[in-house]
Chains A and B, each alone.
Chain A
Amino acid sequence: MARIIVVTSGKGGVGKTTSSAAIGIGLALKGHKVVLIDFDIGLRNLDLIMGCERRVVYDFVNVINGEATLNQALIKDKRVSSLSILPASQTRDKDALNKENVGKVLEDLGERFDYIICDSPAGIEAGAMMALYYADEAIVTTNPEVSSVRDSDRILGMLASRSRRAELGLEPIKEHLLLTRYSPKRVAEGEMLSVEDVEDILAIPLLGVIPESQAVLKASNAGEPVILDTESDAGKAYQDVIDRLLGETVEFRFLVAEKKGILSRLFGG
Chain B
Amino acid sequence: MADASIEFKGSSFTLSVLHLKTTTLVDLREDLINKIAQAPEFFYLLPIIVDIERVDSSIDYQAVKLLVEELKFTFVGFTGSVAKEQKKLIRDLGFSFVNSASQSANNSVNNKAKVDTSIKPVAAKPASAIKTQPVEVAPQLALYTDKIHRGQIRSGQQIYAKGQNLVIIGSVSAGAEVIADGNIHVYGSLRGRAIAGAKGHHQAQIYCQNLEAELVSINGNYWLSESMEQHWNSPAYIHLSDTELVSSKLI
Using CB atoms and an 8 Å cutoff, list the residues of chain A in contact with chain B: 150-151, 153-154, 156-157, 160-161, 200-201, 203
Contacts and interface: CB of A to CB of B under 8 A. Distances in A.
B157 interface: yes
**7 closest Cβ contacts across the A-B interface?**
A157-B154, A153-B155, A154-B155, A154-B156, A153-B173, A157-B157, A153-B154
A203 B156 CA distance: 16
B152 interface: yes
Contacts of A201: 171, 173-174, 191
Nearest to B153: A157
Given A160-B154, A201-B191, A153 B174 contact: yes
B91 to A, nearest CB: 53
A156 B152 contact: yes
A45 B239 CA distance: 52
A206 to B, nearest CB: 16
Given A153-B155, A200-B189, 6 more contacts: A150-B155, A153-B156, A154-B154, A157-B154, A201-B171, A203-B170
Nearest to A204: B152
Nearest to B192: A153
Contacts of A151: 155
Nearest to B173: A153
Interface string B167-194: 0001101111000000000000101000
A154 B173 CA distance: 9
7 contacts: A150-B174, A153-B156, A154-B156, A157-B157, A200-B189, A201-B191, A203-B171
A156 B154 contact: yes
A161 B191 CA distance: 21
Contacts of B156: 153-154, 157
Interface in B118-167: 151-152, 154-157
Contacts of B175: 150, 153-154
Contacts of B191: 201
What secondary structure prevails in chain A residues at the interface with B?
Answer: helix
A202 B152 CA distance: 8
A200 B191 CA distance: 12
Contact of B155 (A157, A161, A200): A157
A200 B152 CA distance: 11
Contacts of A161: 157
Nearest to B174: A150
Instruction: Identify the interface centre among B171, B173, B176, B191: most chain A CB within 10 Å of its CB.
Output: B173
B130 to A, nearest CB: 48
Nearest to A151: B155
A161 B189 CA distance: 21
Contacts of A153: 152, 154-156, 173-175
Instruction: Identify the interface centre among B156, B157, B191: most chain A CB within 10 Å of its CB.
Output: B156
A154 to B, nearest CB: 4
A160 B170 CA distance: 15
Nearest to A124: B156
A209 to B, nearest CB: 21
Nearest to A160: B154
Contacts of A156: 152, 154
Contacts of A160: 151, 154
Contacts of A203: 152, 170-171
A154 B156 CA distance: 6
A206 B35 CA distance: 59
